[in-house]
C-alpha cells in the first residue's frame, strides 16, 4: 500500500492511498471460495457450482464489499502510521476501483489541533466572596411576602403595584383592523413591572374602574417580533377593575407556608438566612468555575476544526428546538432543516473550551474517581421519587456514567488550575452575585 499525505491548509489533511490489485484480488478470491461452499445455484448441487459461475454471479457484489472494507482498513492504517487524529469521518473520493486497476482513493478530513497551553501561573482570576447581610435578609423576606400577596378591589385610581383587569385592542398605524394577538379580554396586568411596551403601563397610571383610555405608542426598534418593531400602534383600553396588593403579616400562618411550625419570627429568619447561604455558596462556586474556564479560553489560542463547530452548532439548535417544544412554543421560529449558522459563535466557544479542558485533563493525568462519581450520581438522584432506581440505571451500563465522569474530571481540572493561577478575592453583594446580568433595561422588556 502506498500513502502520500497532503496538507491543503489549516487542520485539513488529504491522504492519497493506493492498494495494489493483487491485494484486492486475493481477498475477492478468498471470499468467493467461502460463498461457493454454500451457494445455491440452479442446475448445481450446493457447493458444486464451478468457480467461473460463482464469479459471474457473485463477483461484482463481493468486489464491492471487499473494496468498502479495504478503504476503511487502509484509511485506519494510514492515519495510524502518520500519527494523525481525525476529527470526523473522511470524505472519500474514489480514483480507481475497476477490476485490474487495483484501488486508489483520496480521503480528506480535519485533525485535532496541537495545543500548547499558556502557563497557568499567568492566569489572573477573581474569586468572588459574599456575605449575607441583615439588609439582604430583610429584602428576601419582603420578596417572599410579595410573592404571597393577595389582591383586593380598590375604589381609588391605579398606582404602581396595583393589578388592573382590562380589555384592550391594538391597531397598527395605517390599519383599521386589530393586529394578530394585539387584543385581549379580562387581561390582568400589575403596574410597574415593565411587562408591556414603553408607555402602556404609564398611560394607565391613575385610571379607575370603568375608565376608557386611548394610548398612542410605538413598538421598540429591537422588538422581538420584527414585523412590529419600530411601528406606531394605538391601544384602546377599558379598565374593568383596580385591585390593590395586600401583603401577609409576619405571623405563624405565614411562617408555616415555608415549613417553620414553631420558633416564630426568629426561627423563620434563621431558616431563610440558611437557605440564602446555601444558594450563595452554589452561586459562588458556579461563578468562580465559570471565570476560571473563561480565563482559560481567553488565554489560549488555537484553530478549531470546522466539523466540530458545525456538529456542536447543530446540537445546540436541536437542543433549543426541543426546549421550545417542551414549553409549547413553535420550534420553527429558529429556522428549518439543519441551518445552525446562528449558533456557530457560541458553538465555537464550547468547542474551544472542550479541547482546552481535554488537554488540561491529559496534562494533569486526571482520571474519574469512582467515589466522587458515585457521590455526584446520588446527589442527582436525590431529587427523584425513587433515587435508588436512578442510581441503578446509571450503573447498569458504564457508558451512562460518561457525562457524570466528565463533570467530575472537569472539577478536578479546575482545581488543578486554581492551585497554579493568581487568584484575587473580590467582594460582591448578594444581589450582584445572584443577579449578575439583570439591568433595568433587561428587566423591563415588553410583552404587548
337 pLDDT more than 60? no
The DSSP bridge partners found for residue 130 are none
For residue 300, the model assigns a pLDDT of 94
CA distance 124 to 426: 12
User: How far is it, in rounded angstroms, from Cα 430 to Cα 279?
Assistant: 10
Between CA 354 and CA 112 the distance in angstroms is: 12
Q: What is the helix, strand, coil percentage profile of the chain, to 5? A: 45, 20, 35
Residue 427: how many CB atoms within 10 A of its CB? 10
- At residue 86, the 3 state secondary structure works out as strand
DSSP letter, residue 122: G
- The Cα–Cα gap between 105 and 67 comes to 11
Q: Give the Cα separation of 235 and 448 in Å (integer).
A: 10
Angle at 349 between CA 347 and CA 352, to 5 degrees: 105
Check if the beta carbon of residue 107 is closer than 8 Å to that of residue 70.
no
Cα 36–Cα 37–Cα 39 angle in degrees, nearest 5 = 55
Give the span between the Cα atoms of 422 and 118, in whole angstroms. Answer: 14
101 contacts: CB under 8 Å, gap ≥ 6: 21
Instruction: Annotate 44-80 with DSSP letters as a single string.
Output: S-TT-S-HHHHHHHHHHHHHHHHHHHHHHHHHHHHHH
3-state secondary structure of 431: helix
pTM for the whole structure: 0.72
40: pLDDT strictly greater than 80: no
Strand ranges across the sheet with 103-110: 2-9, 12-19, 103-110, 91-96
Which are the contacts of 233, defined by CB distance < 8 A and separation ≥ 6?
170, 171, 172, 173, 179, 182, 197, 216, 217, 218, 219
pLDDT in tens, 239-281: 999 999 999 999 999 999 999 999 999 999 999 999 999 999 9
Q: Beta partners for 218?
A: 232
Question: What is the model's pLDDT at position 91?
Answer: 94
All structural domains of the chain, each given as residue ranges with its CATH number in brackets, are 2-110 (3.30.70.1050), 150-246 (3.10.50.40), 261-443 (1.10.3120.10)
Of 239, 237, 236, 262, the C-alpha closest to 251 is 262
Q: How far apart are CA 56 and CA 36, in angstroms?
A: 12
Kind and range of the H or E element at 13?
strand 12-19
Most confident of 95-99, 294-298, 381-385: 294-298
Compute the mean pLDDT over every residue in the chain, rounded to the nearest whole number. Answer: 89
Query: Does residue 174 come out as left (phi exceeding 0), alpha (psi in the -120 to 50 range) or beta?
Result: left
Q: Name the β-bridge partners of 96.
A: 104
DSSP state of 218: E
**Region label for 304, one of left (φ > 0), alpha (ψ between -120 and 50) or beta (otherwise):** beta
Burial class (CB in 10 A: 0-12, 13-18, 19+), 75: buried
* Res 47: pLDDT: 67
pLDDT band at 435 (very low <50, low <70, confident <90, very high): confident
In this predicted structure, what is the pLDDT of residue 399? 87
**Mean pLDDT for the stretch of residues 3-8:** 92
52 alpha-carbon distance from chain centroid: 59
Q: Is the pLDDT of residue 96 over 80?
A: no
What pLDDT, in 10s, does the model give residues 104-146? 899 999 999 999 999 999 999 999 999 999 999 999 999 999 9
Is residue 303's pLDDT more than 80? yes
* Rounded (10°) CA dihedral 178, 179, 184, 188: -120
Cβ(208)–Cβ(157) below 8 Å: yes
- How do residues 314-331 score in pLDDT, each as one tens digit? 999 888 888 888 877 776
Specify the length of the chain in residues: 448
CA angle 49, 51, 57 (to 5 degrees): 80
Please state, in angstroms and rounded to a whole number, the distance separating the CA atoms of residues 279 and 299.
30
Amino acid at each position: 500500500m502506498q500513502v502520500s499525505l497532503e496538507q491543503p491548509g489549516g487542520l485539513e489533511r488529504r491522504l492519497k492511498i493506493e492498494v495494489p490489485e493483487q491485494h484486492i484480488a486475493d481477498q475477492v478470491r478468498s471470499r468467493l471460495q467461502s460463498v461457493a461452499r454454500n451457494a445455491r445455484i440452479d442446475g448445481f448441487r450446493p457447493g458444486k457450482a464451478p468457480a467461473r459461475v460463482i464469479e459471474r454471479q457473485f463477483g461484482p457484489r463481493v468486489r464491492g464489499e471487499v473494496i468498502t472494507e479495504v478503504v476503511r482498513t487502509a484509511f485506519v492504517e494510514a492515519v495510524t502510521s502518520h500519527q494523525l487524529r481525525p476529527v470526523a469521518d473522511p470524505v472519500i473520493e474514489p480514483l480507481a476501483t475497476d477490476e485490474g486497476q487495483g484501488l486508489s482513493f483520496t480521503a480528506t478530513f480535519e485533525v485535532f489541533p496541537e495545543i500548547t497551553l499558556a502557563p497557568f501561573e499567568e492566569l489572573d482570576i477573581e474569586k468572588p466572596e459574599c456575605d449575607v447581610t441583615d439588609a439582604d435578609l430583610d429584602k428576601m423576606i419582603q420578596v417572599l411576602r410579595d410573592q404571597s400577596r393577595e389582591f383586593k378591589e380598590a375604589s381609588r385610581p391605579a398606582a404602581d403595584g396595583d393589578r388592573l383587569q382590562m380589555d384592550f385592542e391594538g391597531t397598527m398605524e395605517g390599519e383599521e383592523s386589530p393586529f394578530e394577538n394585539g387584543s385581549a379580554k379580562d387581561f390582568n396586568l400589575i403596574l410597574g413591572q415593565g411587562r408591556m411596551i414603553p408607555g402602556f403601563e404609564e398611560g394607565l397610571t391613575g385610571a379607575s374602574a370603568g375608565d376608557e383610555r386611548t394610548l398612542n405608542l410605538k413598538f421598540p426598534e429591537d422588538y422581538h417580533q420584527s414585523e412590529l418593531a419600530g411601528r406606531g400602534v394605538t391601544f384602546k383600553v377599558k379598565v374593568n377593575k383596580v385591585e390593590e396588593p395586600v401583603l401577609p403579616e409576619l405571623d405563624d400562618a405565614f411562617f408555616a407556608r415555608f415549613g417553620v411550625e414553631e420558633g416564630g419570627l426568629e426561627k423563620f429568619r434563621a431558616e431563610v438566612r440558611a437557605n440564602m447561604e446555601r444558594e450563595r455558596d452554589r452561586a459562588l462556586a458556579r461563578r468562580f468555575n465559570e471565570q476560571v474556564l473563561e480565563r482559560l479560553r481567553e488565554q489560549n489560542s488555537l484553530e478549531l476544526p470546522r466539523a466540530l463547530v458545525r456538529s456542536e452548532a447543530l446540537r445546540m439548535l436541536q437542543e433549543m428546538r426541543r426546549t421550545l417544544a417542551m414549553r409549547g412554543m413553535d420550534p420553527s421560529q429558529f429556522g428549518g432543516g439543519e441551518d445552525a449558522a446562528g449558533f456557530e459563535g457560541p458553538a465555537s466557544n464550547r468547542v474551544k473550551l472542550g479541547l482546552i479542558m481535554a488537554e488540561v485533563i491529559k496534562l494533569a493525568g486526571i482520571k474519574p474517581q469512582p467515589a466522587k462519581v458515585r457521590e455526584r450520581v446520588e446527589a442527582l438522584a436525590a431529587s427523584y421519587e425513587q433515587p435508588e432506581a436512578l442510581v441503578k440505571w446509571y450503573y447498569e451500563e458504564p457508558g451512562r456514567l460518561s457525562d457524570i465522569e466528565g463533570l467530575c474530571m472537569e472539577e478536578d481540572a479546575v482545581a488543578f488550575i486554581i492551585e497554579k493561577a493568581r487568584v484575587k478575592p473580590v467582594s460582591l453583594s448578594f444581589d450582584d452575585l445572584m443577579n449578575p446580568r439583570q439591568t433595568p433595561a433587561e428587566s423591563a422588556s415588553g410583552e404587548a
